[in-house]
Structures are given as C-alpha cells and as structure tokens.
Chains A and B, each alone.
Chain A
C-alpha cells in the first residue's frame, strides 16, 4: 500500500472546505433559480463535497490506479441503478 501523507494540514483544509460548501448549500436554498435549476445547483455542490471526501479522507487521491478504477466503476454502477429505476417511473407515462 502506498504511504499516505500524515500531515494534518490537507485534512483541516478539506474540513473547512466542507464547512464552507455546507454554508453555501444553505445559502443557495434562499435563491430561486427556477424549477430544475435549484436542484441542479444543490446536487452540484453535494457532488463537489462527496468528491473531496472520497479523494482526501478516503485516500483515493494518490492511491493505485486499481483503487481508482474500483471507485469509478462503483459510481458508474450506482448511476446505472438510479437511471434504470428512474426510467421506469418516467416511462409509466408512455402508452
């Protein structure tokens, strides 16, 4: 396994970035972007936060490419899962 950087600094920075993004999430909830866009903005911020956690707290950044491939493929798996279920709901309107 690759040696991890045990300096605390990057973790503290990520922590404060997460606090900042949480505040931003609350902030944009008061702004009306119009129907789909409010959701899009909120989800985009959440995606950035999740990526920070995965990259730094879960040490995927700096790991072997095998680890990165595993993470990427599980994300693709989850997307397929949601996509197929949501397609069913959407397609119930067809006739």
Chain B
C-alpha cells in the first residue's frame, strides 16, 4: 500500500487541529434523531429478549470482541514463548493447548460469526429496505446457540483446554488425547447451529424482503457476498456437526470410524473435516470481500467496475469452494489421482478471487479517492489478500506443498487470508458503519493511526513466518534451532505492534459513544439504502417504506473539493 504524503492530511488535520470548531459546527449540522433503536427500550431484558436485528448485531459485536480478546491473549502467549529457541514459558503439553485454544477461539467464536453475525445482522435489512430479517426470533436463538456453544468451550478452556489443534485430527483426538475434546467439540457443534440459523435467515430475507424496485442486480455487493456466505453456512456446517458426532461416538463408545486400530480410516476424518473447513475459510473471507466493495465504491465515488462479475464471483467462490478441500491432505495418504484433481480445482478457485481484485483496481483507477480510515483498511486488505491468495496457490501446487506442508509458511499464508483479509475487512466495516450503528463519529487521527499500526504490525508479524516456513521451521513446535531466532523475534515484535493497533479502536470507539460528534444520516456521502435513514436507525429501520428507483453505486463523480459539507464534519474529536 502506498501512502499518500499530502492528499490525506487535510482530513487528518481537520480532525486533530480544528477539533473544537469541527465539533461545534457538527452539533449544528447534524442532530441525533429523537427516536432510534437504542432508546426504544432500556434495561437488560430489552436486550436479552430483543428480536431487533440491530440489537442482536450489537450483542454479537460485544461477544465476538470478548472472544477475540481471549484468542488474542493466547496469541500473545504463543509469540512470547517463541521469542527464544528454548521452551521458557510452557511445557510442550501446555504449548499444545495454547495454540489449540488460540485457533478454536479465533476461528469458531470470532472469525466465523464476525462479519455475518455482527455487520450482516445489522446491515442486511437496512440495505434491502426491510424492517427486520425474515425470522427475528430465530435470529435471537442464533445468538443464544452461539453463547451456549461458547460456554461449553470456555468450560473446557478453564479446565485445561484441548491439545489436538483446532483441526481435531484423529486418531489422536478420538483415542489418545487426555484433554477435554468432547466438551470443546460439543461447544463447536452447538455453535454450528448459530451459524446455520444466520445463514437460513439471510437467504430467506434476501429472497423475500427486498424493497419495491430493489432487483437482484441493484443489490449492494455486500448483500451478494452475504448470500454466497449463507449458502456455505447452510450447506457445509451440518457436515462439521456430523463429523464431530462421529468423533464423539468413536471417543466415547469406541465405534471404529477413524482409528485404524478399531477398523476406521483416519483420512476419512480429514475428508469430512475439510469438507466443512475449507468452505469455512470462505465464510470468513466472502463477507469481507463484500465490505471492501462497499468501501471502495464510497471512497472513489464510482460504481464498482464490472458489478455483475463481482456479484457472480461471490457465488462462484461459494460453489468452487466446496470442491477443493483435498488440498489440505496432499501428504496425508490421499490418493495421487485425487490430489491431482484437487490441485487443479484449487488453481481454478483463484480465478473468481482475482476477478474481484482486478475489478476493485479498475474501480480505483481514476476514481476520486479519499483516504478515510475505512479506505485505509480496504487498500491494506487488497495487498494482504493478494499475498495470502497467491501463497495459497503455491501451497496448492503438489510439489511445493510436500516441502512446505505443516511449516510456518502455511501459518503465514492463512493468517494473511484470515487476519490480513477477514479481520482487515471486519475492521474496515466497523469504521465504515460505526456512524450508522451509533450515530457518532470517531477520532480521525487515532483511527488512521491504528489502521497504519495494524497494517505495519501485521506484516512484521507474519512476513517473517513465510521465510521461517520456507527454511523449514515446522508449525506447532515451541522449541526450535537457534538460526530461526532472528525471524521469530521480528515476528513477536510485529505482534506487539499489532496488539496496540487493535487496542486503540477500543478506546476511541468507546470515547465516541459519549463525546463523538453526531454523524447525521450519511457522513461519507455514500449511496445505499442504509445511508438514507437516520443514524442510529429507528426501531423499524425506515420511517416510510423505501422505493428503489436507482442502480447500485450511483455515485456522481464529484471532485474531492466539492464533496462538502460531510468532508468537514466527518470526524469528531
């Protein structure tokens, strides 16, 4: 990502130096609506029994943030341990539990629900002009399933955790591990239902609740991305559920599915597990791709180049995503013939992903770009997603995978996709729609700063891991030869910068709730139905039923200077 030396400074300056004038100007420019979903009811019951999709989105926001923090604590522990070649902090057994709980927490309780359940829940009905999702009670039930699942997993965590890795490979998990595999698996099993409920809800909502005039090809690409995600959630998650049931049956009753000692086949577990878990990567990344389309259109003042291609690319990724799982099993005894087929299919799935990236670049080209905080995240996303994607192709190549399998190269690759891709998209979404969710503006200076720290810290953390892996450092080891130490120290240093980058938003977001300037309906001058209603939106989203007589992303390409007054009033503080 190339930093604009002078272009970005006006907004940052306006935010930092003219804080006082900006805030008083804002109070006149925008006042909060008298009634909105946040003051529609008070007290704990109005939250825990709510069927309002916006409040459920907030419940999810609070809970995923909590589990992100727990996953982050485990990440901190891992990076600290790897600072030196010896095992200083943990016994090998403890280290196994630490990286397992890091993976389980981050994947099942943060990444999977992050964008769909938080941003999707909040925005989908707003974007399609509906009062709520199709099944509001099911929506609330999904949050409860999530919390109950998280409860079981937290219970096992507090009793010592699991040491199988987040992949639960058999026969270790079913026969030999002496940790709380069953409780954790049960937690993930229950959590799966929350994912399915969200998916079903979104599919029906998108099909049946669009505002008059909102045809499929007028939908924001965020909605297309969530449609594709929901298909995966509904079709893949049951396979994970049944796989965990089989694991439980083998562990509890010694029924031989996977353990060769009792007549099972361990590769069968990997087939079943990755049939869910590869598409699950797209549950994490597809919503992010949708977010990036929204942000790039808004801050280049252009319609997304090749709208239909980007929309169908989401569907193509969802469909092809089901056919590549075997690339995780090239060296696990899968037949050479199947490996060849899976390798070819893995190459194919890069096509729709690349279509998206090229179309974003074509959108940015000659756009009137504004380097707002969400745009920082979107640009950072594009660079990191390309690196993550292309290293994925390297791993999808049979010969290279033999060398790199189970090394830090793999760890770096999937963190570029999941943190550099999914989390950057999530942060971008939070910053883009925060004024809509809360009705307040956050600090321009600190949000730019944290976006930069996240980008720099992330690369410093994970780029050295590519090199480590290429040199042969295996994953899941906490003792390593001394020649690897420099790169590990770099990585740990990066992780501490990354942690600061993630911590700062916590402060300015909370600060904005009380002291942030009022955002008004549409602080970014973006198009889309969600920006036409008040911020925060009223209980039923719109005061009158919106009618759509415009195409998606109908931006007037105004030069930057003419885009007043939201440019001045954009940031509080």
Contact = CB atoms under 8 A, between A and B. Distances in A.
Interface of A: 66, 74, 77, 80-81, 84-85, 87-92, 94-95
Given A94-B336, A94-B337, A84 B323 contact: yes
A74 B235 contact: yes
Nearest to B338: A88
B207 A92 contact: no
Contacts of B239: 81
Contacts of A89: 335
A77 B207 CA distance: 21
B271 interface: yes
B326 A81 contact: no
The 3 closest A-B pairs by CB, nearest first: A91-B335, A91-B337, A88-B338
A74 B341 CA distance: 22
Interface string B303-341: 000000000000000000011001000000111111001
A81 B326 CA distance: 12
B323 A85 contact: no
A80 B323 contact: yes
B235 A88 contact: no
A92 B335 contact: yes
Contacts of A80: 322-323
Nearest to B325: A84
B528 to A, nearest CB: 26
Q: Give the interface residue-count category, chain B.
A: 10 to 19
A94 B235 contact: no
A2 to B, nearest CB: 14
Residue of A81, A87, A88 ringed by the most chain B CB atoms within 10 A: A88
Contacts of A94: 335-337
24 contacts: A66-B207, A74-B235, A77-B322, A80-B322, A80-B323, A81-B322, A84-B323, A84-B326, A84-B338, A85-B268, A87-B335, A87-B338, A87-B341, A88-B267, A88-B271, A88-B334, A88-B335, A88-B338, A91-B336, A91-B337, A91-B338, A94-B335, A94-B336, A94-B337
Nearest to B235: A77
A16 B564 CA distance: 73
A88 B274 CA distance: 14
B275 interface: yes
Nearest to B239: A81
Contacts of B336: 91, 94-95
B275 A88 contact: no
Nearest to A95: B336
A69 B338 CA distance: 29
A94 B268 CA distance: 18
A81 B335 contact: no
A74 B337 CA distance: 26
